[in-house]
Structure 1
Amino acid sequence: MGFSDHLVDAGEDLWDAQLHHPFVRELADGSLDESAFRVWLEQDYRYLLDYARTFATLGTKAADEPTMAHCFEVANAIVDEEMDLHRSFAADYGLTADDLAAVEKSPTCEAYTNFLLRTAQQRPFPVGAAAIYPCGQGYLDVADHMADLADGEHRYTPFIEKYTSDAFRESVAWMGELVDRSAEAHPSLRDDMKAAFRRSAELEYAFWEMAHTEEEWPSERASAEVV
């Protein structure tokens, strides 16, 4: 068993929590409220910009040319391809890419992206590799679960299809191999890799919760109550 598999097994409680989250179950059957999905859409768009930056940062720290090149390729693919899905969904809400880019990050989104960027910039490469892995493997496992739960096509079917596609599976497989190679080459960093993976997995769960509850900054709620 590779170290990437060990990390997922160690985070089984968080994986199960994601699979059973109301956002995941409701998106799978098509009953998810549009306003909750819009929150996910807007926040995930902002998240992906920094996820791409995280891969680009890791590319500058990679020890070998193939890993460096692939990190940059993933960063480019996120901006050019994965975010196309978000722009497509946004059009259904009358939102442009500029509208999405102008959205303020929620507290959870800001915490997650800050953690990823700080880890990529300040920690050793293997720790950064472990930090990015829960997003890839988590979305694949969640989408596979959604596909099992789904009964026919609905408005969220493109989401499920995107994150169960062969291209996405290949990308996640590469991330798992990167974690395995990093752990093998740097065994002294395995505890730090496990801690980074765990924190990202916790933030993945928090992201579903943020979207489902339509999280706001406390000041925004206070202003609304005053009005």
Structure 2
Amino acid sequence: MAFSDELLEEGTDIWNAQFEHPFVTELATGELDPEAFRHWVEQDYRYLLDYARVFALGATKARDEATMTHMMDVAHTILDFEMDLHREFAVDYGISVDDLESVEKAPTCVAYTNFLVRTAHEGSIAEIAAAIYPCGQGYLDVAEHMAELAEGEHRYTPFIEKYTSEKFEEAVAWMTELVDRCGEQFPGESEAMREAFRSSARLEHAFWEMCYTHEEWEV
């Protein structure tokens, strides 16, 4: 069994929890509260800035030119391609780019991005690969689940289409290959990879909850 499959099998409980989360199921049917989606647009925009930084930092840990080059390319793609969707949604909600960039991260967003950036600074390329994997594979799997639940087009259809697109599938396939390659090349880091994967997966689930409940700082 490929190492990525081992991680996904161990994370089945978290994946099922994501599939069943009301943010996911209500977005799929178009019934999600627009304010919850607005919270996702704002918080995920801030998240992606750090996610791009993680790939850029990961490039410095890569041991081969191809991986280094690809991780730098991914950082650019996140800032250019993926964040375009957030900017487009922001226009629909009357949010300017300046407003997006000044949004304060909610506690869960802080926890998730801090974990990823710390892993990128302190961890190996293997740990980084495992830490970024739940976001890529998770969004693909969740979006495919949404597509199965959806009946016709609605205001959130562009979200589903974005994360089930061929371009996104190709991006996730590369992340899967990186996880498998690291699992094979660095068997001594398998436990660290499992821990990084599970931490990120749990935070992915917490991110849906954060958006659904409009989480903010209490004080």
TM tier, smaller: over 0.9
Show the counterpart of 2:128. Answer: 128
Amino acid at match of 1:100: L
How far does the alpha carbon of each residue in 1:83-135 deviate from its partner, in whole angstroms, 9 at most, with x for none?
00000000001111111010000000000000000001101110111000000
Show the counterpart of 2:47. Answer: 47
How far does the alpha carbon of each residue in 1:48-102 deviate from its partner, in whole angstroms, 9 at most, with x for none?
0000000000011100000000000000000000000000000001111111010
Show the counterpart of 1:149. Answer: 149
Structure 2 stretches lacking a partner, 5+ long? none
TM-superposed CA distance for 1:137, in Å, is 0.2
Cα separation, 2, equivalents of 1:172 and 1:101? 26
Map 1:15-164 to 2 at 5 A. Answer: 15-164=15-164
- Secondary structure of the equivalent of 1:14? helix
Cα separation, 2, equivalents of 1:70 and 1:97? 27
Show the counterpart of 2:170. Answer: 170
Cα separation, 2, equivalents of 1:44 and 1:95? 14
Show the counterpart of 1:184. Answer: 184
**Identity, % of aligned positions:** 65
TM-superposed CA distance for 1:184, in Å, is 0.5
- Secondary structure of the equivalent of 1:214? coil
Q: Give the structure-1-normalised TM-score.
A: 0.96
Q: Which runs of 4+ in 1 moved over 6 A?
A: none
Amino acid at match of 1:28: A
Amino acid at match of 1:125: I
Amino acid at match of 1:48: L
Cα separation, 2, equivalents of 1:129 and 1:137? 12
Amino acid at match of 2:149: L
Cα separation, 2, equivalents of 1:96 and 1:66? 37
Structure 1 stretches lacking a partner, 5+ long? 220-227
TM-superposed CA distance for 1:2, in Å, is 0.9
How far does the alpha carbon of each residue in 1:3-60 deviate from its partner, in whole angstroms, 9 at most, with x for none?
0111011000000000000000000000000000000110000000000000000011
- Secondary structure of the equivalent of 1:218? coil
- Secondary structure of the equivalent of 1:112? helix
Cα separation, 2, equivalents of 1:138 and 1:171? 12
Cα separation, 2, equivalents of 1:80 and 1:128? 22
